[in-house]
Structure 1
Amino acid sequence: MDWKLHAASLAARATHPLSPWWGPVTDIPRHLLVPRWFTPGAHGWTVVDGPADEESWAAAAYADTTLVTRLGPVHADQAEPGRSVTGLPTSSSTLPSLVVSMLEHGRLAPGLRLLDVATGSGYSAALACHRLGEEMVTTLDVDGYLSKAAAERLERIGHRPDVVTADATAELPGVFDRIVSMVSVPRIPVSWLHGLAPGGRLVTTIAGTGLIVTADKTPDGGAAGRVEWDRASFMTTRSNVDYPPLLDELFAGAAEEEGEVTLSPFPVLNVMQAWEVWSMLSLKAPGIEHRTGTDDDGGRLVWMLHPDTSWARARTAPGENTATVHQGGPRRLYDLLDEIRWRWLEHGELPVYGARVTISPDGETTLSRGGWAAML
């Protein structure tokens, strides 16, 4: 495989020739870090073995795309060929342009000690080693198998960072000038503040949102920064082998129950595709599960489900611009959504992107902009 040609093509899509990350992207053989991955199908996911078809391997590894490498507790390396696997993605090799973007937000430079949170395939650690030197890079993952596999593959391509198996929200394995996370967190862990050197910088995404937070450590032990204007979404940190199951039982009830019926002046919205709205709603009511569909008449359907048993179901009929809404449980989830959509109409934007971020020494994180504020 002429992987250098493919890597150069990837660099042209993921970065640019004047970027300090151009060299790392062109020089890292990503395919050797992702020998197997899952692809979705009608009845689940199936594993793809890269070495069995080098042309497909190169096309996947050097595309600017995310490759899922773990579903629930099942690693692609250990999956049985031809057998469908179901579950939520629990690890991946993130699309390279996003990895580069997160590293760029870290303002990395030679001489700085980096903690790369969520090792995954090891690709972000490899890029960082190329730029900073392996002695300056520590990479951490909660999954022992992933850590071991990534360490072996990184060594095979000539990089030996410190690879640690640990919970990213627990005590960190040292003090670092930069913490860049390729996994999202519900709030900034206190351990990150303790493990950040004076004047150090952290970069992460907030769970359930498309918000990238960058913050520099302040003299009081907290940090201050902002929500960046670009967007990203990662898997959420986990302590167990898998994420909690989806709210299928609640969904079954929400699909049939009448609940409280109202009329929304807006058509139904695929919230997960509306980044500002989704992020704002997740800050207001973290943990909402969104589902979409159509009925036999061509009507568009959306459901909102929450672990506190709140639910909402809305339908926009063909040719209509309003929605009939059914809601139940302790909170009116769709009312929260409509409040956010009204705010967007009134102000022409939502305040989440570009918001100021203030993190207290105990990890309490506040986002604020233009009179609006939210606390994580």
Structure 2
Amino acid sequence: MLRHGRLTPGARLLDLATGSGYSAALACHRLGDQNVTTLDVDPYLTQAATVRLNRTGLRPRVVTADATADGLLPGQYDRIVSMASVPRIPASWLAALAPGGRLVTTLAGTGLIVTADKTRDGGAAGQVERDRAAFVQTRITTASSSEGDVTVSPLPVLDVMQAWEVWSMLTLTVPGIEHRNGTGDDGSRMTWMLHPDGSWARARTANGERTTTVHQGGPRRLYDALEAIRWRWIEHGELPVYGAKVTVTPDGETTLTHGGWTATL
């Protein structure tokens, strides 16, 4: 993430999601303590990181605050690098960037790294890097035990979160899906898909088989959305998410485009 930030000498960096303090330490060696601010919402993490950094002789500015809230000073940073995922680029980050400043983040629920440089109108423009990273925190939920609609797919069960392109594309298409995978006592492969709107799907590929029995219910057909993306992947050999162009308006509306495909967050 720091590499994508292009930390040139003298750049003022905001390191978001302090964690252990490791990224802040690397940035201090590159830019000097006086040019590094690291921020995290968890006071325990910022306190522990401060102690850890000070023990190694490093003293960046450490702040406890919500990274997505207002409060960052306008034009204060030349680089913003986030180790936490966001649904779209916060407007407060754009305001905090100096003219020509650069931001790096991942989009929530995907493996996509977005890099963008601030534009004259206060927005930003860049791309989805042909690289991947994810900072994910999932909730524990329970799938429906009802039968729902039952269909048969010719494709075997896929561990979506290990297929980064498919996972990222699905999240952009239907944000908010949670995924679970497992193996039955008979060796069958199983997956569950859950959405806050009450939509759900579960699928099972029997041991030694390739076809999949799919159950799904709720207002949307989650497995159908997944299948459409998988067929596009099979037919074209790739999906348009990596290498997509990114434009961000000053209020944070984030649009990805690649060929005829577009997604707005």
TM-score (norm 2): 0.97
Amino acid at match of 2:141: L
Kindly state the Cα deviation for residue 191 of structure 1 after the two structures are TM-superposed: 0.2
Aligned counterpart, 2:261: 372
**Aligned counterparts of 1:129 and 1:140: Cα–Cα separation in 2:** 14
Structure 1 match to 2:56:
157
Using the alignment, how far apart are the partners of 1:347 and 1:235 within structure 2? 28
Q: Using the alignment, how far apart are the partners of 2:117 and 2:136 within structure 1?
A: 23
For residue 43 of structure 1, what is the aligned residue in structure 2?
none
Letter aligned with residue 272 of structure 1: M
- Between stretches 267-276 and 288-297, larger displacement belongs to 288-297
User: Per the alignment, in what secondary structure is the counterpart of residue 48 of structure 2?
Assistant: helix
> 1:132 aligned to 1, 18, 31, which one?
31
1:190 aligns with 2:83: no
Unpaired runs of 5+ residues, structure 1, are 1-101, 237-242
CA distance in 2, matches of 1:129, 1:313: 47
Matched, 1:199 2:88: no
Normalized against structure 1, the TM-score is what?
Answer: 0.68
For residue 319 of structure 1, report the CA deviation from its aligned partner.
1.9
Deviations along 1:168-199, one digit per CA (max 9) or x if unpaired, are 00125431000001111111000000000000
Q: Secondary structure at the match of 1:234?
A: coil
Shift, 1:259, TM fit: 0.5
Residue pair 2:123, 2:251 contacting (<8 A) in 1 also:
yes
More helix by share: 1
- The DSSP-based 3-state class of the residue aligned with 1:246 is coil
- Contact 2:72-2:93 within 8 A present in 1 as well: no
Q: How does 1:107-118 map to 2 (within 5 A)?
A: 107-118=6-17
Structure 1: which amino acid aligns with 2:70?
A: E
Q: Choose the corresponding residue for 2:213, options 324, 327, 345.
A: 324
Provide the rounded CA distance (Å) in 2 between the counterparts of 1:325 and 1:156.
Answer: 55
Give the RMSD, CA atoms, in angstroms. Answer: 1.1
Shift of 1:309: 1.0
| Structure 2: runs of 5+ lacking an equivalent | none
Secondary structure class of the residue paired with 2:220? coil
Following superposition, the deviation at residue 246 of structure 1 comes to 1.7
**Match of residue 147, structure 1, among 18, 42, 46:** 46
In the TM superposition, residue 296 of structure 1 has moved relative to its aligned partner by 2.6
**In the alignment, which of 171, 174, 188 is matched to residue 282 of structure 1?**
171
For 1:194 and 1:297, the matched residues in 2 are separated by 55
Distance 1:375 1:342, change over 3 A: same
Cα distance in structure 1, aligned partners of 2:99 and 2:223: 43
Q: Which structure is higher in RCO with an 8 Å CA cutoff and minimum separation 6? A: 2
Q: Which of 133, 142, 145 in structure 2 is aligned with 1:232?
A: 133
Listed one character per residue, the Cα deviations across residues 232-254 of structure 1 (whole Å, up to 9, x for unaligned) are 00136xxxxxx7x4213xx2x2x
